[in-house]
Amino acid sequence: MPLAACACALALAQPPDPAYAPLARAYELLRSKSYDAAVAAFQQAIAAAPARADIRKDLAYTYLKTGENSLALEQFREAMRLDPADTQVALEFAFLANEQKDVRSSVTEARRIFDRIRRTGNPVAEQAFHNIDDPLAAGIDRWLHAIALGSDNFSAHYELATLAEQRDQPALAAEHYEKAWRLLPARRSVLVDLGRVWQAMGLTEAANAALLAASRGGEPRAAEMARELLPDRYPYVSEFRRALAFDPANAELRRELAYLLLRMNQQTEAEAEFRILADTDASDLLSATQLAFLLYGRGERAAAQPLFDRVLAGDDEELANRVRAVLRMP
């Protein structure tokens, strides 16, 4: 068979490119600056050939033309995953990530990528790395010096921890996130920061303790962020106890443990937790009621009565009515 005929037969035997038609349409739409329509065509091409990094890259550049930087960032990220050897894609991703100043992890990720690429002798990555790293290093030194001179306050420790995390100094970050939170325990979001850093360090038990404490009580947004980082299951008793050892003043956490112990028929242990709550906070009428019921149920009515009196004198009418029903009062 002649060589030309063999080549034709080979070409006919090759499977057609499933992304050819939508890609051709996407590039045609780009030429006419119909960017929204081009995005839709690129998405069709990705659906047809999901493993092709070049389509992701072109879609990312199209998103940049429409001002959708966050969407462009995700496409560059995926292109980088599909083709780790594409230095240009990695640089595009890192520059774009560094612009997301409101997302702390983006700056950290950008710094890591520039650091990796600069080690190959790339001068652009070298300069970009120092543009990020030098201010971080200077900021860390400045806050360390301020703390050493006596600025032992929440802001100093928190700012230092934030810079240290961005510069990949997790031990320093964890130390000062914890100090910041100890100074201002109401800022539960700092517990989420601490848990995240401990997770990155492989300190799983410590991380889960901080995150479990953050997920119970306090700021709703912090609780939601903590739950996203916790294991996708209900915590064990041992995990509740570790969290309480870390955050003993967390009443909501302790109360949930107490009810869990009750469900497990560990009444003595549950009673001990309710007693801590009732003794610590006289306004915690729910814990006082539950402790009184436990005492009353085993015949210790004299011990239960002061707790019942506290609830009856309180402002929670529902709890008071529950007490009246048990005591058969009007």
Residue with tokens 């100890």: 182
Rg over alpha carbons for the chain, rounded to the nearest Å, is 30
pLDDT for residue 239: 96
Q: Give backbone dihedrals phi and psi of 182, rounded to 5 degrees, phi first.
A: -60, -30
C-alpha 143/C-alpha 242 separation (Å) is 31
pLDDT for residue 128: 95
C-alpha 227/C-alpha 215 separation (Å) is 6
pLDDT for residue 16: 72
Whole-structure pTM value = 0.81
pLDDT for residue 7: 43
C-alpha 157/C-alpha 142 separation (Å) is 12
Task: For the chain, report the end-to-end CA distance as a whole number of angstroms.
Answer: 107
C-alpha 242/C-alpha 169 separation (Å) is 25
pLDDT for residue 303: 87
Mean pLDDT by 10 residues, the chain (330 residues): 44 64 91 92 92 93 92 93 93 90 79 94 95 96 95 94 95 97 94 96 96 90 94 95 94 94 92 91 88 87 86 86 82
C-alpha 112/C-alpha 167 separation (Å) is 9
CATH for 250-330 is 1.25.40.10
User: Residue 35: how many CB atoms within 10 A of its CB?
Assistant: 17
C-alpha 163/C-alpha 166 separation (Å) is 5
pLDDT for residue 296: 84
Q: What is the SS3 assignment for the chain?
A: CCHHHHHHHHHHHCCCCCCHHHHHHHHHHHHCCCHHHHHHHHHHHHHHCCCCHHHHHHHHHHHHHCCCHHHHHHHHHHHHHHCCCCHHHHHHHHHHHHCCCCCHHHHHHHHHHHHHHHCCCCHHHHHHHHHHHHHHHHHHHHHHHHHHCCCCCHHHHHHHHHHHHHCCCHHHHHHHHHHHHHHCCCCCHHHHHHHHHHHHCCCHHHHHHHHHHHHCCCCHHHHHHHHHHCCCCCCCHHHHHHHHHHCCCCHHHHHHHHHHHHHCCCHHHHHHHHHHHHHHCCCCHHHHHHHHHHHHHCCCHHHHHHHHHHHHHCCCHHHHHHHHHHHCCC
Of 162, 165, 197, 161, nearest in space to 179 by CA: 161
